[in-house]
Amino acid sequence: MTHFRFFSGKGGVGKTSMACTTAVYHADAGRRTLIVTTDPASNLSDVFGQPIGHAITPIVGVPNLFAMEIDADQATAEYIDHAMEPIRAAFPPQIVTVMEEQMSGPCTAEVAAFDRFTDFIDVPSDGGGVFEVVIFDTAPTGHTLRLIALPVEWTRSIDAAEQGSGQTCIGPTAAIQDAKHKYERAVAIMRDPAATTFTFVLQPEATSLRETRRAMDELHTLGITSQDLIVNGVVPAEEAGNPLFAARRTMQMGYLAQIARELPLPTQQMPLLSGEITGVERLRAVAGLLFAGDATDPLTPALSQGERVSDLSSPAGRGAGGEDTNNDLDAILPRLLPDAGRRTIFFAGKGGVGKTVASCVTAVWLARQGFRTLLLTTDPAAHLGDVLGVPVGDAVAPVPGVPNLSVTKIDPQAAGAAYKARILADARARGRSAESIAVMQEELDSPCTEEIAAFDLFIDYAAQDDWDVIVFDTAPTGHTLRMLELPMDWSQQLDVKVFASVDGAVADDVAKARFAGVIAMMRDPRQSTFAFVLYPEATPILEAARAADELATLGLRPGLVVANYVLPPEADATPFGRTRRAMQARYLAELPARFAAPVLSIPLLPHEVKGLDLLTALGAQLYGTKVAV
């Protein structure tokens, strides 16, 4: 019997590392193992150090281990081709063309990736034999929960469509009955504790703990109850002699006790290591820590001959000790301050790199300089409220204690409900027939409506001119790229039947005009800044570089790089700290040339950055205290 194991959790907690480590462990134990990533910004190739891609690929050096990175574009083409095959044989080419256009919307890409994912649950084989273990390295929690909920939603949507027009936005129901049955089988397997385990990877910190608890509860509502935990990044007890790491360990101990009380699941701990987890041999060594309890850190690299960490200049800017910052504010501030009437700042990057803290610090600082500032998140996990220390809702609201700052979030469910209500009310006001209203209601009940509605709301905010600065705290990289690419390809990708049902030509022209304005704004460096947030390690840098290359094809270029969690000089107090700081210094030296943009360094602090007082203090430390002009 195949066992399925899902690795889930907040971005940046180490899901991919732990999933790959577990995959190597099972393969080395003689089990035929497959690891599949559903993350649009996959890092499997980076971790294993070899090309993988959209095909089952053997991992070099690990007999019994195979991997695949689901590519959304290829999965979409495969899905449409499969769904349309019986249609092409039965209908004239003109009708086939119309139906293919109807399947070109964004929800088809989402369900196609999901459909490919369920293939590995339904038939866990590559033709060369059945996999005994299938591991899913998933996207960050909010997107993963949507992925897991999709089979339930699509089964319901297909059933409803069968009773109505027989057409869904992913194709005619007659053509996707096999998919419906596959989804039903996938749900049953995920609900079977003998077949499936969900492993939540988290770090001992507030936002990670809260997100894990929320995800556990949501999976329970879906009937998925077999769960366990890996608490990653625990500072070793041996670092008691390092003031920075000792302070962070003290903070972590409180959260570890809270995890034990509030998340009563089987739990493994993984210490913070001195080096990166990349390459098969390092994965094997880490497996010894995770599964065999080996006590020593296997990743400590030796410094090159003649290299002394004490000779390295601090890349951290002003650290916890209070030394002056090295950030070049003359280059950085013009990328943040309004120029041509308004500035829109997108903080983007891999999950867990600190986008929310960077966006909150920047928004609070800008507001305190007198700029009317809107801070909003497009991330389904939505941690703005946790960092700000104030409630964040679906409506724009002022932040108490910070004049000029307002905040909101784009909640796909709330956006979808409001979108459906608006479209139907407009249709009734225009005197549409009861039959037309029924068809529209059927279309709007599709799960893909939420994505279209969230995108529509994003465009609304991006087009507003009520603010001096709009700061977007975006979802992790792959999902942000998908959001930003939608307006570029509206006429090709988004033939939204909802608009067409209301008043096709007029609504389409209005929509295209809105999108054209937003596209022009995003491409103008005087109006927009794309700030890539990363920490100085290979995986987030490679992901940011790939995202920058993809954005360049849309005419968008990085305006700023934010290097987060940079170790200050006082981390040199122990060999562990010196090793990690030397690793960071090598990566930091590469950033300006790699991205052709100024670099803002944010130091690793001994405590979490939460609350307006800490955000204000950090903003003054990074950007200065003088009122901007």
User: What is the rounded CA–CA span in Å between residue 600 and residue 160?
Assistant: 52
User: What is the rounded CA–CA span in Å between residue 388 and residue 364?
Assistant: 9
Q: Report how far apart, in Å, the C-alpha atoms of 558 and of each of 257, 340, 485, 544, 596 are.
A: 41, 18, 15, 10, 8
Residues 6+ apart with CB under 8 A from 330: none
Q: Report how far apart, in Å, the C-alpha atoms of 254 and of each of 59, 205, 209, 353 are.
A: 39, 9, 12, 22
CA angle 595, 282, 37 (to 5 degrees): 65
Residue 101: pLDDT band (50, 70, 90) is: low
Torsions phi, psi for 30 (to 5 deg): 95, 5
Tell me the pLDDT tens digit for each residue of 270-281: 999 988 898 999
In this prediction, residue 179 carries a pLDDT of 67
| Exposed/middle/buried for residue 465 (C-beta within 10 Å: 0-12, 13-18, 19+) | exposed
Residue 489: pLDDT band (50, 70, 90) is: very low
**Helix, coil or strand: residue 35:** strand
**Is the pLDDT reported for residue 148 higher than 90?**
no
Report which of 35, 587, 621 is spatially closest to residue 327, judged by C-alpha positions.
Answer: 621
**Is the pLDDT reported for residue 347 higher than 50?**
yes
User: What is the rounded CA–CA span in Å between residue 318 and residue 324?
Assistant: 5
User: What is the rounded CA–CA span in Å between residue 293 and residue 289?
Assistant: 5
User: What is the rounded CA–CA span in Å between residue 318 and residue 330?
Assistant: 17
Phi/psi region, residue 549 (left: phi>0; alpha: psi -120 to 50; beta: rest), is alpha
How far from chain centre, in Å, is Cα 266?
26
Tell me the pLDDT tens digit for each residue of 218-227: 888 888 889 9
Single-letter amino acid, residue 5:
R
**In angstroms, what is the C-alpha Rg of the chain?**
25
**Is the pLDDT reported for residue 64 higher than 90?**
yes
- Count the helix, strand and coil residues of the chain and give each as a percent rounded to the nearest 5: 50, 15, 35
CA angle 236, 580, 244 (to 5 degrees): 55
Q: The whole model's pTM is what?
A: 0.77
Residue 293: pLDDT band (50, 70, 90) is: low
**Is the pLDDT reported for residue 140 higher than 90?**
no
* Over residues 489-509, mean pLDDT: 43
Single-letter amino acid, residue 13:
V
Residue pair 531/335 in contact (Cβ under 8 Å)? The answer is: yes
In this prediction, residue 310 carries a pLDDT of 35
The token pair at 197 is 């385990």
* Over residues 27-56, mean pLDDT: 89
- All domains in the chain, ordered by first residue: 3-71+112-292 (3.40.50.300), 331-623 (3.40.50.300)
Candidate ranges 69-78, 195-204, 323-332, 544-553; pick with highest mean pLDDT: 195-204
Helices (H), 103-140: 106-122
200-204, 321-325, 469-473, 516-520: least confidently modelled range: 321-325
What is the DSSP-derived secondary structure letter of residue 299?
T
Q: E strand or H helix at 520, and its extent?
A: helix 497-523
What is the DSSP-derived secondary structure letter of residue 50?
S
Residue pair 289/312 in contact (Cβ under 8 Å)? The answer is: no
Beta-strand relationship, 373-377 and 405-409: parallel
In this prediction, residue 540 carries a pLDDT of 86
In this prediction, residue 467 carries a pLDDT of 93
**Is the pLDDT reported for residue 287 higher than 90?**
yes
In this prediction, residue 78 carries a pLDDT of 82
DSSP string, 182-247: HHHHHHHHHH-TTTEEEEEEE-SSHHHHHHHHHHHHHHHHTT---EEEEEEEEPPGGGGGSHHHHH
39-48, 74-83, 139-148, 330-339: least confidently modelled range: 139-148
How far from chain centre, in Å, is Cα 395?
23
Single-letter amino acid, residue 235:
V
* Over residues 536-550, mean pLDDT: 86
How confident is the prediction for the chain on average, in pLDDT?
80
Single-letter amino acid, residue 350:
K
Residue of higher predicted confidence among 309 and 286: 286
Residue pair 585/537 in contact (Cβ under 8 Å)? The answer is: no
**Is the pLDDT reported for residue 39 higher than 50?**
yes
Residue of higher predicted confidence among 594 and 84: 594
Residue of higher predicted confidence among 300 and 569: 569
